[in-house]
Structure 1
Amino acid sequence: MDIFSKNYWSLYINFLNDFEDIKYKGFSIPYLYHFRSLLKGNEKLWDSLYNQAFTAKLPRSITENREIQIVFNEFVQSHTNEPLERNKNGIVIFHDVYNLLKLPQKTFIKYFNSSQVMRLYEGGNRRKTKRRTKAKSYQNIRVINDRDGNGAKRMKDNKKANAAGSIPSVKYFSEFSVDTRKAVENLTRKANSIIKKHHNHPLYSQESFKKVFFLQLSKIVNRIEESANLLELFPVSCIVVPSTHYPECRTLALVAAEKGIPTICMQHGIISSEHGYLPKVATVDAVYGQFEVDWFKEKGAADETVEVIGHPRFDQAFEKPRFSRLQFNEKFGLAPNKKNLLIIVRGNKDIDSWRLFIKKISKKLDINILIKDYPNKRPHPLSKEFPSVHSLLNVDLYDILPNVDGVVSYPSTVGLEAMLAGKPIFILNMDFPGSAGYYNRLGELSQNDANQLGDIVIKYFGKEQMIRKAQKVTKDFLSYAYPVPALSGKRLRKLINRLTS
């Protein structure tokens, strides 16, 4: 374990201990926080986490990061009503937050009965409503406020799909809200008294911490009430969430556990950093492959709490392309006699390295270089610097992959998706604290240096031997990272059946 991770997890353990008595409806609130966000805006603290002496200032220090998972295993167990309910005729809830679930509509249509599925979102009607006593009274909800900004589009899509009877009903957490202001005020006073006792603490004394802390405190209390009301009104058999890292999903999962309802946490992206995937709290984490199974077990998760199913959105990689190569080239003005190389970037992050890489390969290769930038929707700056570079805007990844000859990416989930689509992948790796080393098995196809990665890509496009080598490396990688013989949507349905039958 690197020194940064040791300090980070030690700080987390102490946070749990220091605020342990801040409780609501039997839940120790600090366990439901998104801890990493409490450190945002505190650059001095982030820098100090690289210092070997940091933990000397803390009452408790950990020696391995599995300790955080073991603490959470005990917490989850203390809130789990066993044996779990086996309600095969109940409703399956799919909760999305921050657009991380990413389940294709086809998955609902093909594998689920829409009458037994509920899609649950943030936002919705924020007006205060009296709690209903019958589930059937929740119908035709109008969106007043939508936190992720996609409410209008969802309403339009839902109207079309529901008219055809093809996808499940939509609910919003605000439908189940009650007035929690008094409870939040009481907890705020108690938390403030704890913060005052730690007035010299490197985290608690910061205004950025206090701002996020009290925002999340209110959110967690509200979510406890919303979740309890929801689960009282509807006969729920299972809940599927995209992450248990955030308080919205984590709180729902813990309230469900108290009622004996199993939860499944889908894997929303590759495990790049351990700080984004620990601790796990769902009944089962549905993961991409053996990499995650081994990784979670190493970090302290129990064997039966991790299962390989892949992800239904990756099923798209095996479908027939919507565009021919000719249509694709014409759409983006690409030279039809040249090969297409796709580069995946994230804004201006590591732009100097990407600039160096493009300069390197442009001297040797006469190819079309395509850039897909997440999350920006404007042409990437590098497309203005290099005539051979084209920004791809407003086009789905699965419409791009069939029409390129190779993919270069930072350590992103796109790398895995490219391999599933049969494309060679080259990774511009970045060392950082808590790195899970997901792409290490790619060997020389993953490089920390842009120049060296450029040499590898040049060899690939110039030597048949290198093509065969890359194909073998990719095949071996997928056998470990994504050993899913059947479509993932089907495997998800089977997992739900096993937990509820």
Structure 2
Amino acid sequence: MDLIEQKYWSVYLDFLDDFESLHYQGHSIPYLCYYRGLIQGNKGLTEIYQQKGWVSFLRNHVTDARVVQHRFDSYKARFKKKKSSGKKKKLVLYDGYGLLRLPSSTLLKFSRAFDTLYLVDRNTGPKKERKKPTVKSLDQSVLVKRTPGGKKKVSPVLPPRYFDEYKVDVNKEVLRLQKEARGILERKKAEGHPVYSIPYFETTLMKQIDQVVHRVEQIGALLQREQVGCVIVPYSQYMESRIFSILGAVHHVPVAALQHGIISDAFGYLPCLTDYKLVYGHYEKQWFTSRGVSEQRVVMMGHPRFDEVYKAVKANKARLKQNLGLPLHKKNLLIVVRRNNQMKKWESFLRDLTISNPANMIIKDFPDHTPHELTKKFPSTFYSKNQPLSDLIQLADAVVCYHSTTGLEGLMAGKPVFILNNNYYGYSGYFDLLGRLKQDDPVLLAGLVKAFCKRGAVTARDQSLMTSFKQRAYPLGNGAEGRLLSFITGLMNR
């Protein structure tokens, strides 16, 4: 644990202590808040964590992440389970923030096996906020209906349901809790607390208090009225997943978090409140257990979306090259970027690579809505034109990317992978096992890629590095859909 991590977790535990008196229906509000969201994206708060000093303000001094996990385990253990009444048979899939990432074929297969509720977040804009949502009873929210003959009728795409369809009026309670929270903040600001003094923190906390109270009511109503046997969420950290986990404990409903991407930093994946964490491989299992999550709760599963990589039909390379306007005689490099992150590094990488122009360089952004700025700065590169990632990986002779799941997918497809490293606070070390194939220096990385293009293959040493990485990162291979279906069936029948 470096000093930044120690400060982060220490201030987090202070936050739990400072605001623990904020209770709603027996639940301590700070334990349900998404703490990272209170500081993430605010430059002033980020700089505070990076500064030396102000340790005297802290009452908690965390040097081991297990302390944080144990605090949340103890909190969850306070809630007594209600006696289960009747057979529970419905599956809730919460596609929070679009991160569940289950293929349509998997969603349909699950809907055939279980009565399924597919919950998503409502995307509201200014106009939609003025429009009152249609309120339906929970009894009307079953997604898979049965015909008179008893057969299930499945829609091509599961109809989404929204939390705000479950009408609640908790404005008085929200105002009460916000008033109490402001009183705590004023006292702490008077003492000169550096984090609580940032206006962004207070504004975001007030919003989260409002959201927590509403979600407690809405999720509570769902679990009380529906015969829910299992809940799958994409992320154990977000507010909704926390509330599902705590209320699930109360109502005898197991909650599992399905890993949606690689563990990129140390701050985004703890604490774990869900009953189970369904992970890709050995790396995540060791990562979570070393930070205090019990081994029984961390289950190696993989993810159904990666089954698509293993099952992918070989793309028609000639046709795809024609669609992208690629010369047919060159090798193809898929270069995956994320908006304008690491722009200077990517520019250095492409500047060095385009001197010799050894391959077709296809730039794919995330999200890939328009041609990336790099395709304008480097006319010899090509825009991916929103082609499916699986097709682009099949087309590529090698994949170059940032800290992205794309690197893992490239290895699954048997492609050489090169990682442009970015040193940021809390980096988990996920790609370290790739050795020299992960480079901080974009020019050195470009040199490795040029050598690959010239030889037409990676060295035996580099191939060994990629094989070892894949065995640790995703050892179970194809069949995650079946494994997940069996796991959920076990939870529903217990």
In 2, the alpha carbon distance for the partners of 1:465 and 1:137 equals 57
Other-structure match for 2:297: 305
Shift of the alpha carbon at 1:361? 2.1
Q: Write the letter of the residue equivalent to 2:89.
A: G
Instruction: Answer yes or no: is the 8 Å Cα contact 2:115–2:142 preserved in 1.
Output: no
Q: Indicate which of 363, 386, 395 corresponds to 1:371.
A: 363
Other-structure match for 2:11: 11
Shift of the alpha carbon at 1:257? 1.6
Q: Indicate which of 117, 124, 139 corresponds to 1:136.
A: 139
Task: Output the aligned Cα RMSD.
Answer: 2.4
Other-structure match for 1:231: 223
Cα offsets for 1:445-501 (capped at 9, x unmatched):
111111111111122222367344333222211111001144111111121122232
Other-structure match for 1:391: 383
Q: Write the letter of the residue equivalent to 2:57.
A: K
The alpha-carbon distance between structure 1 residues 281 and 325, as it changes in their structure 2 partners (threshold 3 A), is same
> TM-score, with normalisation over the residues of structure 2?
0.91
- Unpaired segments of 5 or more residues in structure 1? 141-161
Aligned residues: 478
Other-structure match for 1:483: 475
Find runs of 4+ consecutive structure 1 residues off by over 4 angstroms: 85-89, 128-132, 162-169
Shift of the alpha carbon at 1:172? 1.6
Other-structure match for 2:187: 197
Instruction: Answer yes or no: is the 8 Å Cα contact 1:7–1:54 preserved in 2.
Output: no
Q: Write the letter of the residue equivalent to 2:473.
A: A
Q: Write the letter of the residue equivalent to 1:98.
A: Y
1:180 equivalenced with 2:170 (yes/no)? yes
Instruction: Answer yes or no: is the 8 Å Cα contact 2:358–2:453 preserved in 1.
Output: no
Instruction: Answer yes or no: is the 8 Å Cα contact 2:168–2:217 preserved in 1.
Output: yes
Q: Write the letter of the residue equivalent to 2:90.
A: I
Cα offsets for 1:219-257 (capped at 9, x unmatched):
000000001111111100000001122112221222112
Instruction: Answer yes or no: is the 8 Å Cα contact 1:361–1:454 preserved in 2.
Output: yes
The alpha-carbon distance between structure 1 residues 80 and 428, as it changes in their structure 2 partners (threshold 3 A), is farther
Other-structure match for 2:214: 222
Instruction: Answer yes or no: is the 8 Å Cα contact 1:91–1:235 preserved in 2.
Output: yes
Other-structure match for 2:132: 127
Q: Indicate which of 425, 428, 432 corresponds to 2:417.
A: 425
Shift of the alpha carbon at 1:138? 4.1
Other-structure match for 1:150: none
Greater shift after overlay, 210-219 or 165-174? 165-174
Shift of the alpha carbon at 1:13? 0.7
In 2, the alpha carbon distance for the partners of 1:89 and 1:59 equals 44
In 2, the alpha carbon distance for the partners of 1:169 and 1:9 equals 39
The alpha-carbon distance between structure 1 residues 86 and 471, as it changes in their structure 2 partners (threshold 3 A), is farther
The alpha-carbon distance between structure 1 residues 370 and 465, as it changes in their structure 2 partners (threshold 3 A), is closer
Cα offsets for 1:327-364 (capped at 9, x unmatched):
11001100011111011111221111111111222233
In 1, the alpha carbon distance for the partners of 2:107 and 2:22 equals 40
Shift of the alpha carbon at 1:14? 0.5
Shift of the alpha carbon at 1:87? 8.0
In 2, the alpha carbon distance for the partners of 1:373 and 1:190 equals 44
Cα offsets for 1:369-418 (capped at 9, x unmatched):
01111135221122122232112132221121111100111111111111
Other-structure match for 1:37: 37
Shift of the alpha carbon at 1:38? 1.2
Shift of the alpha carbon at 1:71? 0.8
Instruction: Answer yes or no: is the 8 Å Cα contact 2:358–2:450 preserved in 1.
Output: no
The alpha-carbon distance between structure 1 residues 61 and 137, as it changes in their structure 2 partners (threshold 3 A), is same
Partner secondary structure for residue 275 of structure 1: coil
In 2, the alpha carbon distance for the partners of 1:256 and 1:440 equals 37
- Unpaired segments of 5 or more residues in structure 2? 144-151
Greater shift after overlay, 72-81 or 29-38? 72-81
Q: Write the letter of the residue equivalent to 1:103.
A: L
Greater shift after overlay, 176-185 or 13-22? 176-185
Instruction: Answer yes or no: is the 8 Å Cα contact 2:419–2:437 preserved in 1.
Output: yes
Shift of the alpha carbon at 1:31? 0.7
Matches within 5 A, 1:287-436: 287-321=279-313, 323-375=315-367, 377-436=369-428
In 1, the alpha carbon distance for the partners of 2:221 and 2:484 equals 27
> TM-score, with normalisation over the residues of structure 1?
0.90
Other-structure match for 2:147: none
In 1, the alpha carbon distance for the partners of 2:33 and 2:435 equals 37
Q: Write the letter of the residue equivalent to 2:168.
A: V
The alpha-carbon distance between structure 1 residues 139 and 479, as it changes in their structure 2 partners (threshold 3 A), is closer
Percent pairwise identity: 33
Q: Write the letter of the residue equivalent to 1:224.
A: V
In 2, the alpha carbon distance for the partners of 1:465 and 1:109 equals 40
In 2, the alpha carbon distance for the partners of 1:66 and 1:407 equals 36
Q: Write the letter of the residue equivalent to 2:476.
A: V
Partner secondary structure for residue 343 of structure 1: strand
In 2, the alpha carbon distance for the partners of 1:128 and 1:354 equals 44
Instruction: Answer yes or no: is the 8 Å Cα contact 1:223–1:252 preserved in 2.
Output: no
Instruction: Answer yes or no: is the 8 Å Cα contact 2:368–2:386 preserved in 1.
Output: no
In 1, the alpha carbon distance for the partners of 2:443 and 2:466 equals 22
Greater shift after overlay, 24-33 or 104-113? 104-113
Shift of the alpha carbon at 1:40? 4.1
The alpha-carbon distance between structure 1 residues 80 and 479, as it changes in their structure 2 partners (threshold 3 A), is farther
In 1, the alpha carbon distance for the partners of 2:419 and 2:135 equals 53
Matches within 5 A, 1:93-104: 93-104=92-103
The alpha-carbon distance between structure 1 residues 427 and 485, as it changes in their structure 2 partners (threshold 3 A), is closer
Instruction: Answer yes or no: is the 8 Å Cα contact 1:117–1:169 preserved in 2.
Output: no
Cα offsets for 1:285-321 (capped at 9, x unmatched):
0000010000001111111110000011111101233
Shift of the alpha carbon at 1:73? 1.4
In 2, the alpha carbon distance for the partners of 1:139 and 1:13 equals 40
